[in-house]
C-alpha cells in the first residue's frame, strides 16, 4: 500500500509509542488524525509536547475506544487505522481487570466493526509479546503458543483473536503487529528502564527493582515505529501476525547494569517485594524471532544486539535526564 493521499488514524496517539508514531508519520508528509483519550483537562498527552510544525499539521479527535459511536465517527474518512489504544500496565490489571476487557477487547471490536462498515483499506492492530508468556522455545516465532499469564495478556490475546476473526470471517484487511518490549523517551515510569534511569537521575544509587533474572527483548521506540509503518504498507502482512523485536535477549539485572554504565553510575540493586509479580504470572523469558518481519515487509531493527541496545539506552537516558522531562516522573514511588 502506498500511503500517498491516504488519511491515517492513530488510536492511542497521546501515549508513549503512539505519539512517536504520529510525529514520524507527519514528518513523512502523511495526513494524520490522532485519536486521544477525552478528558476534561483537554490534554492530548505527549502530543501536547509536539513541535509546532507537527501540531500545525495534525488533526486531533478526542474520544474513547470503548464507545463504538465515537470510534466510528473518528474513523470516518480514514483509509488506514493504526490501533494502539490499550491499557497496558500488568500490575494494574491484577486489581482492575474489568476495565482491561472493556478497553482492550471491546475497544478492538469497536475498531474492526467500524472498519468493516466503513470499508477501511488497512487496519494494523497492536498486540504484545506478553501474549506468549514465558518462552517455550526461542527465538519466539509467531507460531509460539499463547499463554495468558496476567489479565492484561489475556485481554490482549482476546483482542488479537477478535481482530483476526474479522479478517477470517469478513475479509477485513487486518494485520497484527506484535512488538516486544519497547523502550525510549516518554515511556511510563511503570516500565523497568525508566524506573532505573529516573532513580539514578534523581541521585539514588540503591535501585529498587523486582525480579532480576527474567529476560526481555527490548526494542527501541523508533524501531517499533518503523515496524508499524512497514507492516501497514505491506500487502503481504494482511491476515498475518508479525513480531517486531530486536532479536537480542538480556536479563533485567543486566539491563540495570547497562543503564548504570551508560549513565556512569555505581549502583546497588535491592529487591522491592511489591514489584514482584505472582510466581505463575511472571514471564521469565522473552526473545523475539523477527525473520517474518524481514521476509514480509523488509523490517529489521536498527538498534539490534548489545551495541544497538546501549545506543538506545544512551538516547533514552539523555531524554530522561533533561530536567524538564525528569520532573514529570515520580521516581520515589512504585508506579503501577
Give catalytic residue positions: 152
CA gap 6, 74 in Å, rounded: 15
- 112: cell is 474492526
Q: Helix 305-320 crosses helix 252-262 at what angle (to 10 degrees)?
A: 60
Q: Which helix (H) or strand (E) holds 61?
A: strand 59-63
Contact present, 225 and 279 (Cβ < 8 Å): no
Work out whether the CA dihedral 99, 103, 104, 109 comes out positive or negative.
Answer: positive
Contact present, 195 and 231 (Cβ < 8 Å): no
Contact present, 48 and 82 (Cβ < 8 Å): no
What single DSSP character describes residue 140?
A: B
CA gap 96, 85 in Å, rounded: 17
Contacts of 56 (CB under 8 A, 6+ apart): none
Q: Which parts of the chain fold into alpha helices (H)?
A: 16-27, 52-55, 68-75, 90-95, 97-100, 107-118, 151-170, 192-201, 221-233, 252-262, 291-297, 305-320, 323-326
Contact present, 296 and 240 (Cβ < 8 Å): yes
What single DSSP character describes residue 146?
A: P
Q: Which helix (H) or strand (E) holds 126?
A: strand 122-126
Q: Is the peptide bond before 240 cis (omega within 30 degrees of 0)?
A: no
Contact present, 83 and 156 (Cβ < 8 Å): no
Amino acid at each position: 500500500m502506498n500511503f500517498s493521499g491516504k488519511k491515517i488514524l492513530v488510536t492511542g496517539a497521546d501515549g508513549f509509542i503512539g505519539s512517536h508514531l504520529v510525529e514520524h508519520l507527519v514528518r513523512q508528509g502523511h495526513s494524520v488524525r490522532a485519536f486521544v483519550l477525552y478528558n476534561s483537562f483537554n490534554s492530548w498527552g505527549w502530543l501536547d509536547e509536539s513541535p509546532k510544525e507537527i501540531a500545525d499539521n495534525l488533526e486531533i479527535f478526542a474520544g474513547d475506544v470503548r464507545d463504538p459511536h465515537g470510534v466510528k465517527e473518528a474513523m470516518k474518512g480514514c483509509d488506514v487505522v493504526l490501533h494502539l489504544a490499550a491499557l497496558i500496565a500488568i500490575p494494574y490489571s491484577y486489581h482492575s481487570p474489568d476495565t482491561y476487557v472493556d478497553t482492550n477487547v471491546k475497544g478492538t471490536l469497536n475498531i474492526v466493526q467500524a472498519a468493516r462498515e466503513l470499508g477501511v483499506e488497512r487496519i494494523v492492530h497492536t498486540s504484545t509479546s506478553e501474549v506468549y508468556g514465558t518462552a517455550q522455545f526461542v527465538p519466539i516465532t509467531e507460531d509460539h503458543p499463547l499463554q495468558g499469564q496476567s489479565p492484561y495478556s489475556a485481554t490482549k490475546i482476546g483482542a488479537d483473536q477478535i481482530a483476526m476473526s474479522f479478517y477470517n470471517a469478513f475479509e477485513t484487511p487486518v494485520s497484527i503487529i506484535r512488538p516486544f518490549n519497547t523502550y525510549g523517551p516518554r515511556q511510563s515510569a511503570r516500565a523497568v528502564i525508566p524506573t532505573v534511569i529516573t532513580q539514578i537521575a534523581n541521585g539514588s544509587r540503591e535501585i529498587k527493582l523486582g525480579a532480576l533474572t527474567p529476560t526481555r527483548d527490548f526494542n527501541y521506540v523508533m524501531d517499533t515505529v518503523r515496524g508499524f509503518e512497514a507492516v501497514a504498507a505491506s500487502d503481504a502482512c494482511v491476515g498475518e501476525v508479525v513480531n517486531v523485536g530486536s532479536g537480542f535477549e538480556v536479563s533485567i539485572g543486566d539491563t540495570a547494569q547497562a543503564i548504570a554504565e551508560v549513565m556512569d553510575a555505581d549502583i546497588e540493586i535491592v529487591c522491592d517485594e511489591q514489584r514482584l509479580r505472582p510466581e505463575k504470572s511472571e514471564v521469565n523469558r522473552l526473545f523475539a524471532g523477527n525473520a517474518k518481519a524481514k521476509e514480509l515487509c523488509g523490517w529489521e531493527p536498527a538498534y539490534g544486539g548489545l551495541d544497538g541496545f546501549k545506543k538506545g539506552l544512551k538516547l533514552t537516558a539523555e531524554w530522561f535526564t533533561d530536567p524538564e522531562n525528569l520532573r514529570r516522573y515520580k521516581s520515589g514511588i512504585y508506579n503501577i
